[in-house]
Amino acid sequence: MEPAIRIQPGKDRQVLVCRGTGCESQKAKVIFDNLEKELEKAGLSGSVETKYTGCHGFCQQGPTIMVMPAGTFYCNVTPDDVAEIVQTDLKGGQPVERLLFLDPKTKDRVLTFRDMRYFNPQRRIVLRNCGFINPEDIEDYIAVGGYDGAKKALSMTQQQVIDNMKASGLRGRGGAGFPTGMKWEFANRSVADQKYIICNADEGDPGAFMDRAVLEGDPHSVLEGLIIGGYAIGATKSYIYVRAEYPMAYERAIIAIDQAKKKGYLGKNIFGSSHDFEIKVKLGAGAFVCGEETALIASIEGKRGMPMPRPPFPAVKGVFGKPTNINNVETLANIPVVMTKGGEWFASVGTEKSKGTKVFALAGKITYSGLVEVPMGTPLREIIEEVGGGILNKRKFKAAQTGGPSGGCIPAAHFDVPMDYENLTQLGAIMGSGGLIVTDETTCMVDMAKFFLTFTQKESCGKCVPCRLGTKKMLEILTDVTKGKATLEDLDQLVALAEDVKNGSLCGLGQTAPNPVLSTVRYFRDEYEAHILKKECPARVCVRLIKFQVNPDKCKKCGQCASACPVEAITWKKKEAALIDSEKCIKCRSCILACRYNSID
C-alpha cells in the first residue's frame, strides 16, 4: 500500500511528519521544526531527510511521525517527544516504545504501520500518496508516477479515454454514484465554443473529510484527474470549488497549480500537446447546498448558491451557460490510477456494480476513528471491528449511519452487509460521500435524526417550499418527540411530511433531507413510540425524558458515576448503590456515559 517515495540523494532515512489539518492543529509545525533542530544537533542532517506530508487518515492518533523505510509509526507525538525519537530511534536504532501504536485487541505495541490493524485491511487507491509525499512538491508526485496518467491520456483519443473510464466502472464519489465515464460522454457530446470541468471540493457532510485529506495530501492527483477529464470532454477551463473552511486545501491547490504551470502541465499546449488547460480555484462560502451541482455553478458565477431544476443538465448548460462536467475530489483522485493501470484493472477491485474502493470517514462510538479506504463490498462488520477496532467501552453496536445528513442507518441486523451502492440504497441508507457514524445503545435514534435534520434545515437554501418549510415543520415535530410532547398522530404527520419533502423538493438536499428520519422510523420505530407513549428515551439522551435516578436493581455499585459527576451531585459509598441529588444535578449526562451497566434511568 505504500508508494516508492522519493528520497534526497545521499540520505538513507526519512522522517515523515504529518501536517494535515488535524495534526497541524496539534503543533505539527513545531514538531517538524524541532525535528530539524534535533537532527542537526545529533549530526544526522546529512543522512536523515525530513519531509512533511498530508493526512494519512489516522487523525485520532495524531500528530504522527513515520520513520522510513522502516515504517516505524509514532502516535500522539508532542514537540517534546522529538528529541527522544531522534536520540533513541534515529541515532540509537531503538524504537520509542511508549509512542508506538497499541493494538486494542492484543494490547501489544506495534512497530510499523504495515502491521497496524488500522491500516492492514485497507486498500489505498485514492489515498495512495497521502501521508507519504510532500503535497507542496510536484517532484514528489512525479516520482511516484504522477502525471503518467495524464500523459497517457493525451496520447489517446478522447473517445478512448472515455471508453477506458467506462470500462473501469468508476462511479461518482460525491454521493449519487453516477458512472463517471457516462458523465464524461454526455459532456463530450455537447457542442460549444467553451466547456468547463469542475472539481467539487465543497465537502459539506458533517464528519466527512476525505476530500480535504486528498487536496491537502495529494493535490496533484486531483489536478491530474481534471487534466484527463478536461481532455476527454474537450474542456480547456477548469475550476476547483473549495470551501473557505479548508484554507490549507485551498493553499495547497494553488501551490500545486502554480508548480504544474511552471512544468508546462497546465496552460497552453500542456505536455507539449495541442491541448490547452487552465485551472482556477474558487472559494466557496461554506454553504452545504453548494455541493449540489447547479448551486455550485451559480456560486461560481457569483450568484447566490441556489440550485436550478434539471434538465437542462450541466453537461448541456452549466457554468456561464456552457457545457460543464463536475466531478468530486475523490472521484478525480481515482482517475490517474484508472489511466495508468487501465479500466479493467480498476474494475477488478470491488463488487459487480460498485468498482474500486471507497474512503469512509469513520466516526462515532468506535475505538479508532479516521479515514479508511477499503474495496467496495467490504462488509460493514470488517470495517468496524477490524479497521476501527470495535465499539468503544465494550458497548453493543446499534446501527451505522452512512451518507451523513442525506443518508440513513444500517441496523445491527445488517451488520454483515457488503458496503456498496446497491446494498446501501436497498437498506434505505446511502453511500453518500462516505460518512460512517457508528452508534451504540447510548445513541438515541430520534436525537440523531434530529441532529441531521437540524443541519439540513439550517443548510436548506430556502428556494423551494418543501425543503424550506417542510424540514422546519419536521424538525418541530422531532423536537416535540424528544420532549415527550408529541402524539402518534404527530408521528404519522412527520412521516407523511417527510415523504412529501422527499418527493417534492427541488434538489438533492431537500430530496434526501428526510432520509435520516425515514430510516430511523423504519428501523427504530419502537424508540419513537417510547418517546411518545412512555415519555422515555431508551438511550437516555433526550434530557427532558431522563429521570436522572439510579436504578438500584441494575446498579453494580462501582461508583463510576460519582466520579464522573462534575458537580458532586452523586453520593456513593462502597458496596452501596449511588444516589443522585436532583437539586444539584445539572443533567449533563456524564454519569450515564460513565455507567457501563445502563443503570441510570
Partner 1 sequence: MDDKLTLTINGISVRGKKGQTVLEVCRENSIKVPTLCFHPKMPPYGGCRLCIVEIQNMRGLPPSCTTPATDGMNISTHTDRLFKIRRTVLELLLAYGDHNCLMCEKNSECELQNLVYEHGIDTVRYKTNFVPKPLDDSSSMIVRDPNKCVLCGRCVRGCLSVQVNGVIDIAARGSDSFITTFNGGLLNDSNCAFCGECVASCPTGALTQKQSRFKGRPWELKKVQTTCTYCGVGCQLELNVKDNEVVKVTTDPELGGPNQGSLCVKGRFGNDFINHPDRLKVPLVKKNGHLQESTWDEALKIVADKMGSIKKTSGPDSLAFFSSARTTNEENYLVSKFARAVIGTNNVDHCARL
Nearer to partner 1, 6 or 502 (CB): 502
C-beta separation of 208 from 404 below 8 A:
yes
* Minimum distance from residue 472 beta carbon to partner 1 (Å): 4
- Three-class secondary structure assignment of 383-409: HHHHHCCCEHHHCCEEEEEECHHHCEE
The residue range among 52-60, 197-205, 329-337, 459-467 that interacts with partner 1, by the rule CB under 8 A, is 459-467
* Minimum distance from residue 203 beta carbon to partner 1 (Å): 18
> Alpha-carbon distance 406 to 390, whole Å?
25
Which member of 11, 109, 395, 473 binds partner 1 (CB under 8 A)?
A: 473
Integer angstrom CA distances of residue 318 from 8, 57, 314: 45, 34, 4
The helix/strand/coil state of 221 is helix
The residue range among 142-150, 276-284, 452-460, 519-527 that interacts with partner 1, by the rule CB under 8 A, is 452-460
- Residue 465 binds partner 1 (CB under 8 A): yes
The residue range among 89-97, 215-223, 413-421, 461-469 that interacts with partner 1, by the rule CB under 8 A, is 461-469
Nearer to partner 1, 415 or 451 (CB): 451
> Alpha-carbon distance 461 to 453, whole Å?
14
CA-based nearest residue to 310, from 176, 111, 499 = 176
Give the long-range contacts of residues 261-267, CB within 8 A, separation 24 or more: 263/138, 265/147, 265/150, 265/223, 265/227, 266/223, 266/227
C-beta separation of 488 from 532 below 8 A:
yes
> Alpha-carbon distance 232 to 366, whole Å?
42
> Alpha-carbon distance 596 to 562, whole Å?
13
Which member of 10, 43, 302, 311 binds partner 1 (CB under 8 A)?
A: 311
List strand residue ranges (DSSP E) for 196-277, in order. Answer: 196-201, 237-243
Nearer to partner 1, 426 or 582 (CB): 426
Sign of CA dihedral 561, 366, 413, 503: positive
Which member of 39, 497, 562, 565 binds partner 1 (CB under 8 A)?
A: 497
- Non-local CB neighbours of 204 within 8 Å, separated by 6+ positions: 243, 286, 287, 288, 290, 291, 459
- Residue 471 binds partner 1 (CB under 8 A): yes
Query: Which helix (H) or strand (E) element contains residue 357?
Result: strand 357-364
- Residue 461 binds partner 1 (CB under 8 A): yes
> Alpha-carbon distance 315 to 189, whole Å?
9
- Residue 577 binds partner 1 (CB under 8 A): no
Query: Which 235-264 residues touch partner 1, going by CB under 8 A?
Result: none
- Non-local CB neighbours of 304 within 8 Å, separated by 6+ positions: 298, 461
* Minimum distance from residue 283 beta carbon to partner 1 (Å): 18
Nearer to partner 1, 414 or 463 (CB): 463
Q: What is the x/- site pattern for partner 1, positions 506-545, by CB under 8 A?
A: x----x----------------------------------
* Minimum distance from residue 494 beta carbon to partner 1 (Å): 11
- Residue 87 binds partner 1 (CB under 8 A): no
- Residue 321 binds partner 1 (CB under 8 A): no
> Alpha-carbon distance 212 to 528, whole Å?
36
Which member of 76, 158, 493, 598 binds partner 1 (CB under 8 A)?
A: 493
- Residue 469 binds partner 1 (CB under 8 A): yes
Cis bond upstream, residue 69 (ω within 30): yes
Kindly give the residue spans of alpha helices, DSSP state H, lying in 86-157: 138-143, 148-154
> Alpha-carbon distance 361 to 348, whole Å?
24
Which member of 309, 394, 553, 583 binds partner 1 (CB under 8 A)?
A: 309
- Residue 312 binds partner 1 (CB under 8 A): yes
Nearer to partner 1, 343 or 470 (CB): 470
* Minimum distance from residue 467 beta carbon to partner 1 (Å): 8
- Residue 405 binds partner 1 (CB under 8 A): no
The residue range among 276-284, 364-372, 465-473, 538-546 that interacts with partner 1, by the rule CB under 8 A, is 465-473
- Residue 299 binds partner 1 (CB under 8 A): no
C-beta separation of 216 from 55 below 8 A:
yes
* Minimum distance from residue 206 beta carbon to partner 1 (Å): 16
Nearer to partner 1, 149 or 175 (CB): 175
- Residue 504 binds partner 1 (CB under 8 A): yes
Q: What is the x/- site pattern for partner 1, positions 259-288, by CB under 8 A?
A: ----------------------------x-
Per-residue cell: 201: 471540493
Which member of 210, 380, 429, 464 binds partner 1 (CB under 8 A)?
A: 464
Nearer to partner 1, 435 or 508 (CB): 508
- Non-local CB neighbours of 263 within 8 Å, separated by 6+ positions: 138
- Non-local CB neighbours of 123 within 8 Å, separated by 6+ positions: 1, 349, 357, 373, 374, 375
Residue written as grid cell 412529501: 500
Which member of 247, 264, 462, 552 binds partner 1 (CB under 8 A)?
A: 462
Nearer to partner 1, 10 or 309 (CB): 309
- Residue 593 binds partner 1 (CB under 8 A): no
Which member of 40, 80, 352, 476 binds partner 1 (CB under 8 A)?
A: 476
> Alpha-carbon distance 360 to 584, whole Å?
42
Q: How many residues bind partner 1 (CB under 8 A)?
A: 34
C-beta separation of 101 from 73 below 8 A:
yes
Residue written as grid cell 476525505: 210
The residue range among 126-134, 188-196, 260-268, 495-503 that interacts with partner 1, by the rule CB under 8 A, is 495-503
- Residue 483 binds partner 1 (CB under 8 A): no
* Minimum distance from residue 468 beta carbon to partner 1 (Å): 5
Which member of 109, 304, 483, 589 binds partner 1 (CB under 8 A)?
A: 304
Nearer to partner 1, 378 or 512 (CB): 512
- Residue 463 binds partner 1 (CB under 8 A): yes
Binding residues for partner 1, rule: CB under 8 A, are: 287, 289, 304, 306, 308-309, 311-312, 457-473, 476, 493, 497, 500, 503-506, 511
